[in-house]
């Protein structure tokens, strides 16, 4: 605050505020510039260059990607600067600076133990930003490491925190809890980590053997950026699939397996992710609730630990029963357009039809019906689909759906089949970028029989992709 006030003040006030920011060097006394506020080492240089240094605020970078902490420093400084520039005259800025220095106080509160400190912080900070689980655990765990090694382990911790970002880093601890407990949380994540993971008992081992490798695995999972001399492309392809699902309950087993085998056997990792994606997709389609999902993934986590001694248990945890396979196939034959898995299903089918070479970098990917949802009474669609019940049963089925690389057009939806093919199902280059859509262009007419024919073909393709026989 004082740094921004200094930047917006007149020359006289700026000199006075600068003296409050740091003690200037004194050649006679042999002292250097000494700033009254020092941040952690990884942020201090940025803080000095753009905040504490005179004129630095004007040079704050706005286009480059910064760490969460440096981005917060920048955004707060720019926000204050904007408010002062828009709302205050130089005289008002001077008076505000005087008020802060003369009327505002820093109160130090000390407590006999950490529990009391966290409790007092929560009360005083009721309307501010709460300490995250990661913040609290960091203080507890690093505090148990011998002082001579604390800087080294603090650096390891903060490297991973910065790499993942604050939100993902905090989420990682929920994953670590699940990896250890394998059941739904019965208490707060913080309490369960303290009681069941017990990182304070083995602080260095926890950071070296769990936090660091699990954070790296989590980063590779979220960004589909796994690197290896073999199978990396396939592994990242399946990670991209999994990241498109509507929940992240599959993440802890992925972290555990990638951390365990990623540097040892990439073929194992690829095989695991193929089976996990099938399990996750079936859970998605069958709408298994949170309790059912956690139970299934808990079994997978347990089986990962027992994999070497009980391979059968491991395979069983990732497999689908015959009943689940049959239920999944039946779900694909019904109304899929109004399901939550529709786009995922169509994109997976499209990539399979293009032999895995499809690339989805289109700014828009939308789903379109070939037979319109609401054809006009005088359209050719009413002639081709005269029976209302048949028309309704086929409209939202898999066989009647295609992908577009443009936003849906309410007028175009009721085009005739030939007009849709030539004007709506193609792009500027003439051909659709989606194999799923290109296949429809080869049809001369679109009738109930054609939809059912395509429905069976695509369902069989799904059976092959997810091994549902």
Q: 279-299 pLDDT, tens per residue?
A: 999 999 999 999 999 999 999
pLDDT confidence of 9, banded at 50, 70, 90? low
Q: Give the dihedral sign, CA 101/104/105/107.
A: negative
Count Cβ atoms within 10 A of the Cβ of residue 6 and give its class: 0-12 exposed, 13-18 middle, 19 or more buried: buried
pLDDT value for 430: 57
What's the average model confidence in pLDDT over 199-210? 97
Which range has highest mean pLDDT (119-133, 368-382, 452-466)? 452-466
pLDDT value at 123 more than 70: no
Residue 131: φ, ψ to 5°: -65, 135
What's the average model confidence in pLDDT over 409-428? 75
pLDDT value for 1: 53
d(CA 284, CA 422): 35
pLDDT tens-digit series, residues 360-369: 666 778 899 9
pLDDT value at 126 more than 80: no
d(CA 234, CA 305): 24
Cα–Cα separations (whole angstroms), residue 381 to 248, 336, 371, 415: 42, 21, 7, 9
pLDDT value for 34: 77
What's the average model confidence in pLDDT over 254-263? 97
CA 19 distance to own-chain centroid:
44
pLDDT confidence of 53, banded at 50, 70, 90? confident
pLDDT value for 46: 85
pLDDT value for 154: 92
CA 110 distance to own-chain centroid:
38
Q: Which two tokens stand for residue 323?
A: 């009943």
d(CA 50, CA 151): 25
What's the average model confidence in pLDDT over 315-322? 96
**Category of 443 on φ-ψ map: left (φ > 0), alpha (ψ -120 to 50) or beta:** beta
Minimum mean pLDDT range among 14-28, 125-139, 162-176: 14-28
């Amino acid at each position: 605050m004082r740094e921004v006030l200094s930047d917006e003040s007149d020359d006289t006030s700026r000199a006075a505020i600068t003296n409050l920011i740091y003690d200037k060097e004194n050649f006679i006394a042999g002292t250097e510039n000494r700033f009254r506020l020092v941040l952690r080492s990884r942020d201090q240089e940025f803080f000095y260059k753009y905040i504490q240094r005179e004129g630095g605020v004007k040079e704050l970078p706005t286009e480059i990607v910064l760490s969460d902490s440096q981005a917060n420093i920048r955004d707060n400084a720019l926000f204050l600067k904007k408010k002062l520039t828009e709302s205050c005259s130089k005289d008002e800025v001077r008076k505000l600076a005087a008020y802060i220095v003369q009327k505002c106080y820093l109160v130090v509160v000390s407590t006999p133990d950490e529990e009391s400190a966290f409790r007092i912080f929560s009360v005083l900070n009721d309307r501010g930003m709460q300490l995250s689980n990661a913040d609290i655990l960091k203080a507890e765990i690093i505090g148990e490491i011998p002082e001579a090694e604390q800087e080294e382990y603090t650096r390891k911790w903060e490297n991973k925190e910065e790499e993942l970002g604050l939100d993902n880093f905090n989420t990682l601890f929920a994953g670590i809890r699940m990896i250890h407990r394998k059941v739904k949380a019965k208490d707060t994540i913080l309490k369960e980590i303290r009681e069941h993971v017990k990182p304070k008992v083995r602080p260095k081992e926890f950071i070296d053997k769990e936090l660091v490798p699990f954070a790296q695995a989590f980063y590779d999972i979220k960004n589909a950026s796994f690197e290896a001399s073999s199978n990396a492309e396939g592994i990242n392809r399946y990670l991209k699939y999994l990241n498109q699902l509507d929940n992240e309950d599959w993440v802890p087993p992925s972290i555990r397996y990638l951390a365990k085998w990623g540097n040892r056997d990439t073929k194992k990792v690829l095989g695991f992710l193929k089976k996990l994606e099938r399990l996750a997709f079936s859970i998605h389609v069958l709408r298994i609730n949170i309790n059912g999902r956690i139970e299934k993934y808990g079994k997978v986590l347990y089986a990962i630990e027992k994999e070497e001694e009980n391979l059968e248990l491991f395979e069983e945890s990732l497999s689908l029963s015959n009943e689940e396979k049959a239920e999944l196939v039946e779900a694909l034959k019904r109304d899929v357009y109004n399901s939550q898995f529709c786009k995922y299903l169509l994109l997976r089918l499209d990539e399979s039809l293009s032999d895995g070479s499809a690339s989805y970098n289109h700014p828009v990917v939308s789903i379109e019906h070939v037979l319109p949802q609401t054809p006009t009474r005088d359209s050719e669609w009413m002639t081709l689909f005269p029976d209302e019940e048949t028309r309704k049963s086929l409209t939202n089925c898999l066989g009647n759906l295609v992908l577009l690389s443009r936003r849906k057009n309410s007028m175009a939806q009721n085009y005739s089949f030939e007009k849709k093919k030539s004007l709506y199902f193609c792009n500027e280059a003439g051909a659709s970028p989606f194999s799923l859509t290109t296949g429809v262009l080869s049809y001369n007419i679109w009738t109930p029989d054609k939809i059912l024919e395509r429905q069976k073909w695509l369902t069989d393709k799904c059976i092959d992709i997810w091994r549902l026989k």
